[in-house]
A and B are shown apart, each in its own frame.
Chain A
């Protein structure tokens, strides 16, 4: 079993839809949770960063962390064609100053105009 599971998709939605992306994990020591967006042939771009359980909102993006269920989500409201990309969840333990990320496999999202 992988430490982080993420539905690879692909996921296609019409413009304006609400998108829900999810990851589950098995390591209860994870405390830092991130979502990255990766366009084709580009490096990942940090979208959201959360610590422990709770919600965080940034514009059209909302990140949720439920540590009791070992489940994190990223919601995209009013999705746009420019949101079409691969979304990677990532997480890490609180292990001092040098933290390694464990990534999900990524979900490929296409927003259709």
Chain B
């Protein structure tokens, strides 16, 4: 299957600092990537849709100035958590859609566990 690589897999940062998470589609081009947040024992919550070459689309309630998304190429999207606070500690997951004639399949990265201390 297609591979989506997410880095880092875990990070600990101090409150007030910024953290960048990378999401790469390794064997296909992704014009659209998605960023999710997942709390323990809960399902994935869509945060934003990242579009290559244009601004990201944020879900209601997600602060675009806090969660900066950049999709500079067809294989890379980044999520930067700015001025992180302990309440931002969570599991962040990206996905990329591989579009074929007969299907569109979403593949997920390994996830990034962010802990803000």
Please report A residues at the B interface, Cβ cutoff 8 Å.
32, 34, 36, 41-46, 49, 51, 88, 90, 92, 97-101, 103-106, 108
Contacts and interface: CB of A to CB of B under 8 A. Distances in A.
B34 A100 contact: yes
Nearest to A97: B99
Interface of B: 1, 4, 6, 31-32, 34, 41-44, 46, 49, 51, 91, 93, 95, 97, 99, 102-111, 113
Contacts, number: 63
16 contacts: A34-B106, A43-B6, A43-B109, A43-B110, A44-B93, A46-B108, A49-B103, A90-B106, A97-B31, A97-B32, A98-B51, A99-B104, A101-B106, A105-B42, A106-B42, A106-B43
B44 A44 contact: yes
A41 B32 contact: no
Contact of B43 (A34, A88, A100): A88
